[in-house]
Chains A and B, each alone.
Chain A
Amino acid sequence: MARVVVDVMLKPEILDPQGQAVQRALPRLGFQGISDVRQGKRFELEVDGPVDAAALARIHELAETFLANTVIEDFVVKVEEGQETRKAEEAAK
């Protein structure tokens, strides 16, 4: 099993009222010097089997048709290596 992460963000030119509301709250909480906040979504997909080029292509299609609305959002697909590395370390012990 491997984990694939899909990060979805509103496109830079699209107004993000939620991010703005968070940003406006920062000075009240004593956090200074943060001039912009944008809020996105992170999807963690547990994938059965190897994440090869074909599997990644399917996930890319999934992100493009469903997880993100590409009229307003951009997305990035990443394979999370951490898990497998950890497993390899354990095996080495």
Chain B
Amino acid sequence: MTARIGVVTFPGTLDDRDTQRAVRVAGAEAVPLWHKDKDLKQVDAVVLPGGFSYGDYLRAGAISRFSPVMESVIEQAKAGMPVLGICNGFQVLTETHLLPGAMLRNNHLHFICREQKLRVENAETAWTADYTAGQEIRIPLKNIDGQYTADERTLDMLEAEGRVAFRYLDGNPNGSLRDIAGITNEAGNVVGLMPHPEHAVEPLIGTGRADGLGFFTSILKKLVNA
């Protein structure tokens, strides 16, 4: 049976269609989920895509956290369901405290849109198993609230437990502490990152490479083997 991967749309989400497409390109079934619905339609995993949910009012991701769909996502994530948060989705995951830390405005205050080199630090999460630890990938980055921050104790804990999943290479684009581009929860089922793998799943678009496809094939493989 095909794996069903839910993609949540909040008001202001931009990248839900690209994410659905990435899921299909990887060979899974993309299931659209609406922010007002508590029902997750029996999906096997959920992606919180990029964009500006609720216009980023209050703080990026802060209002989405209290949407009906997130009640179910939080509950299921804690029970082990794989969840990937991309950009605004990562912000939502920190606001829900499924992932530690918080996101600040980029240190230079500019919106940034560029091709970003990353190192995959942890290839054992639900979303990174198709990569190898230390692998360098290039995927698009576009945000203004992308500066990852947490207190020293949290950062040390993340490093010690191997929970820094991705690090920026060739220049830190936003002042993120310790060049952190993405992290995972302790169990490895919840992953968040600022750059956009869903925009680089086919050579024709994005970076001209398909470096982001591994996220979606990783989860597929995990679900099929589960």
Contacts and interface: CB of A to CB of B under 8 A. Distances in A.
A14 B149 contact: yes
A39 to B, nearest CB: 10
A15 B109 contact: no
* Interface size of A as a range: 10 to 19
Contact of B59 (A17, A18, A21, A69): A69
A15 B175 contact: yes
Interface residues of B, number: 19
A15 B174 CA distance: 12
Contacts of B95: 69
A72 B66 CA distance: 19
A88 interface: no
A72 B59 CA distance: 11
Interface string B37-80: 00000000000000000000011001000100000000000000
Interface of B: 58-59, 62, 66, 94-95, 100-102, 104-109, 147, 149-150, 175
7 contacts: A10-B104, A15-B107, A15-B175, A17-B147, A69-B102, A71-B100, A71-B149
